[in-house]
Structure 1
Amino acid sequence: MPKILIVGGGYAGFYTAWKLEKHLRKGEAEVIVVDPLPYMTYLPFLPEVAAGAIEPRHAVVSLRRHLKKTTVINAKVTNIDHANKTATISPEGGDSWNLDYDHVVVTAGSVSRTFPIPGIAENAVGMKSIEEAVYARDTLIRNFERAAALPEGSELRQRLLTTVIVGGGFAGIETFAELRSAASALLEKFPNITFDETQFHLIEAAPRIMPEVSQQTADWVLKDLAKKGAHVHLNTQCADATDGVVKTSDGAEYPSDLIIWTAGVMANPQVVNGSDLPREARGRISTQADLRVVDENGEIIDGAWAAGDVAAVPDLTGGGVGGMCVPNAQHAVRQAKRLAKNLVGVLRGDEPVDYVHKNLGAVAGLGLYNGAFQSGNIALKGFLAWCAHRGYHGLAMPSWERKWRVLWGWFHNFFLGRDQVQVATTQKPREFFEAFASRPKPPADVSK
């Protein structure tokens, strides 16, 4: 029985396995998914998780619960030797071992793309995982709690009430707007903190934000953020973040205890660099339109497939950057579905079909009851766009079990408001126990 190895259980990996389970006949192939995490994260929900509008566990999808016919291995793939069709599996705390396969599907996704700016690696956090979103949420609330106990006007109080986000793409703007909205809601619980004390700064090197939407829509978003007390600095670069003090190219300084980096992504370098599969200039695995991996001469590499952010897939509609599909959820999900059908077709001797998908548009949540939507020349702003945002992503969330959890949470929040309790101490669960635990007395010194 052919063995299909899927490297990565994110968007593209989960959907590939999910659809393979649907299309494969019993006993036709064995499917194995390898990922260090036991769940897929629905990335568009991360800003709402950071703002306390969605319960973190509801924004992830359990691999084992929903991939009932697939073998799930929680480990890293540290090497892909496709010449011998062997992958090295490295479980946490255990010895590495080799897994033979007939087909490999690389869907390892992307990671935050950073630059060697002093202090960023030590003080910033990304917005690419559920853990980072939870950290941002807990830190924002905890900072309010700490600041409320400090005298007004103190440097530490101002630092705690300042949030800086680097990157003005969709992820950055949504995170920025959602956190600003969450902070405004928190002020109701902290009467000794004024609105003007809460400072939100977004730093963007380009002359505009949100390149996925029209200039008119982007300008509306800027004006809307300004009304809510959020400051966007265009044509500005982050030059330094040492000790949590963000210094910009125009000489400004913003001491902050919450710095979030959303300035781009890159293909997962650990998986890409740990394989012998060909890659293009930007570090992504080279594929042709039917999602089969190809070498520098365009020759198909038998048994190798790739999709999602880790793959350079030609955009046959002509709308992609550099002729390739942009790394977003729309493409990852649809590429995975096409890949699953093509792989089953190849197993049965059929010719694969090219992936073609024209971008449906872009929708962004900008805090409660506010959003922006762009599809061609059609643009919606405000409440209607917010409804479109929640409607689209509520339906796009995989499985009805997860859809229901998210929708039920939104329903509760409508009546009960955001959940504004931080549980940052869960990051150090043994700290409280250790502080009061009895310890053995040191042995008596018998030499005296």
Structure 2
Amino acid sequence: MRRILIVGGGYAGFYTAWRLEKKLRPHEADVTLVDPRPYMTYQPFLPEVTAGSVEARHVAVSLRRHLRRTRVIAGSVVDIDHEHRTATVSTADGPERKLGYDVVVVTAGAVTRTFPIPGVADEAIGLKHVEEAVAIRDRLLTAFERAAALPAGPERRKLLTVTVVGGGFTGVEGFGELLSLGTALLKHYPELDAGDLAFHLVEVRDRILPEVTDKPGAWVVRHLEKRGAHVHLGTKLVSARDGHIVLSDGSEYDNELLIWTAGNQSNPVVARHTDLPVDEQGLFRVRADLRIGTDDAPVPDAWAAGDNAAVPDLTSQLPGAHVVPNAQNAVRQGKRLAKNIVADLRGRKVKPYVHHSLGTIATLGLGQGIFQYRRIVITGLLAWLMHRGYHVLAVPTWERKVRVFLVWAAALVYGRDVVSLQSVQHPRDAFVAAARGRSR
């Protein structure tokens, strides 16, 4: 059997393996998927996880449960030697080992882009993984509990100050959901009022949401500011040392929760630890059919998709344009990738990846959203309902669709759960304290 190695279990990797299982004949190929996490995260739901609108486990799709004919290895590919058809795999336990393959599919995704800003490495938290979304929610809820026990003043205001760096979709959606949650929490804390809250969105460009046009982007800024937010456009984060924020527009304030969503950068394995061709951004050079290489020099038995690949956009009028690296494209690239791999194994013609955008949509908090398709722009409650409807249909497996929908239905009746479980991150503290107390 041909040995197919899939590097990465995100959108593109999961859907490639899922579709290969359905299309490959028995004993036609052996599929192995390597990823450090045992699940695929449905990232568009992470902002709603931070606000408690979606349960954390419901955005994580188990690889082993749904990929029943795929060998899943919990580890990281740290090097790809395509000339010798081997990959080096590192696992949590045991030494690195070589893994042979006949066909490689690299869908390792991207990593969070950071800059050497004082305090960021010590203070900030990302919003790329479900663990980060859960931690953000728990830290905000815990901050409210602590602030309610303090008198009005700078300490209380610091606890209730949140800064999000990055005005792309992840940053704006996360910011809108947290602003919605923070405002809603005030009814449970009579000791606090709206004047105690401070939510800051920092974006280095002069606009947010680059995927939408200028007027809808400007509307989002006005909408957030009407809800009490501070939006800093054309502004850089200068320092975050010891919880004190310094911005390039001259603003300075004490901050409790710093969230970093300032874009992605190429996966270091892709950029520096493979003999496959990459471009100046560290992304795989990929043909329209998702095979690595160029039209003149394709690389046999090597494929790539998702955030680690510069996929040509055949729907664009601009020469050299590449597909936007988002979930909408990654899912569809995974499906096309599986079809092309099967076709290639059977000596048939492969097809290019072509997808016309369905539009852009974002949640801005409970009951608020924005949708744009070409010149059509919808805002408010209808856009928010469209956002929920689209994503509950897009999240993989019916089991996850039903679970997410039931949580939403329960929230309509009972409201969001506002319990912080931050102590889960240190589960032994209570036991250790009790044990030491008895020993004394």
TM-score between the two structures when normalised by the length of structure 1:
0.95
For the residue of structure 1 that corresponds to 2:365, the secondary structure is coil
Q: Which residue of 1 aligns with 2:184?
A: 185
Percent same amino acid among aligned pairs?
Answer: 54
Q: Which residue of 2 aligns with 1:410?
A: 408
Distance 1:28 1:115 in 2: 46
Q: Which residue of 1 aligns with 2:91?
A: 91
Instruction: Encode CA deviations 1:19-49: one digit per residue, 9 max, x unaligned.
Output: 1011111111011110010000000000000
Distance 1:254 1:209 in 2: 22
Superposed, 1:383-402 pairs within 5 Å as 383-402=381-400
The 8 Å contact of residues 238 and 248 in structure 2, kept in 1 or not, is answered as yes
With over 3 angstroms needed to count, the CA separation of the structure-2 counterparts of 1:319 and 1:268, relative to structure 1, is: farther
The 8 Å contact of residues 77 and 271 in structure 1, kept in 2 or not, is answered as no
| Superposed displacement of residue 438, structure 1 | 5.1
Distance 2:254 2:83 in 1: 51
Superposed, 1:221-236 pairs within 5 Å as 221-236=220-235
Q: Which residue of 1 aligns with 2:75?
A: 75
Distance 1:43 1:119 in 2: 26
Q: Which residue of 2 aligns with 1:110?
A: 110
| Superposed displacement of residue 246, structure 1 | 1.5
With over 3 angstroms needed to count, the CA separation of the structure-2 counterparts of 1:141 and 1:311, relative to structure 1, is: same
Distance 1:272 1:280 in 2: 9
Q: Which residue of 1 aligns with 2:212?
A: 213
For the residue of structure 2 that corresponds to 1:138, the secondary structure is helix
The 8 Å contact of residues 316 and 356 in structure 1, kept in 2 or not, is answered as yes
Structure 2: runs of 5+ lacking an equivalent: none
Q: Which residue of 1 aligns with 2:315?
A: 317
| Superposed displacement of residue 250, structure 1 | 1.4
Distance 2:273 2:243 in 1: 33
Superposed, 1:221-300 pairs within 5 Å as 221-294=220-293, 298-300=296-298
For the residue of structure 1 that corresponds to 2:83, the secondary structure is coil
The 8 Å contact of residues 270 and 282 in structure 2, kept in 1 or not, is answered as no
Q: Which residue of 1 aligns with 2:302?
A: 304
Task: Determine whether 1:353 maps to 2:351.
Answer: yes
Task: Determine whether 1:25 maps to 2:25.
Answer: yes
Quick check: 263-272 or 245-254, which moved more?
263-272
Instruction: Encode CA deviations 1:56-111: one digit per residue, 9 max, x unaligned.
Output: 00011000111111111111111111110001111102111111000010001111
TM-score between the two structures when normalised by the length of structure 2:
0.97
| Superposed displacement of residue 273, structure 1 | 2.1
Superposed, 1:27-42 pairs within 5 Å as 27-42=27-42
Distance 1:320 1:243 in 2: 46
Structure 1: runs of 5+ lacking an equivalent: 443-448
Aligned with 1:434 (options 405, 427, 432): 432
| Superposed displacement of residue 223, structure 1 | 1.6
For the residue of structure 1 that corresponds to 2:269, the secondary structure is helix
Q: Which residue of 2 aligns with 1:144?
A: 144
| Superposed displacement of residue 414, structure 1 | 0.7
The 8 Å contact of residues 270 and 283 in structure 2, kept in 1 or not, is answered as no
Quick check: 274-283 or 28-37, which moved more?
274-283
Distance 1:96 1:294 in 2: 28
Distance 2:183 2:162 in 1: 13
The 8 Å contact of residues 167 and 261 in structure 1, kept in 2 or not, is answered as yes
Task: Determine whether 1:202 maps to 2:201.
Answer: yes
Distance 2:201 2:438 in 1: 52
What amino acid does structure 2 have at the position aligned with 1:7? V
| Superposed displacement of residue 271, structure 1 | 4.5
Q: Which residue of 2 aligns with 1:342?
A: 340
Q: Which residue of 2 aligns with 1:158?
A: 157
Distance 1:2 1:143 in 2: 54
The 8 Å contact of residues 270 and 284 in structure 2, kept in 1 or not, is answered as no
Superposition RMSD in Å: 1.7
For the residue of structure 1 that corresponds to 2:292, the secondary structure is strand
Distance 2:187 2:319 in 1: 44
The 8 Å contact of residues 286 and 294 in structure 1, kept in 2 or not, is answered as yes
| Superposed displacement of residue 390, structure 1 | 0.2
Distance 2:165 2:436 in 1: 46
| Superposed displacement of residue 321, structure 1 | 10
Distance 2:320 2:234 in 1: 23
Q: Which residue of 2 aligns with 1:132?
A: 132
| Superposed displacement of residue 440, structure 1 | 11
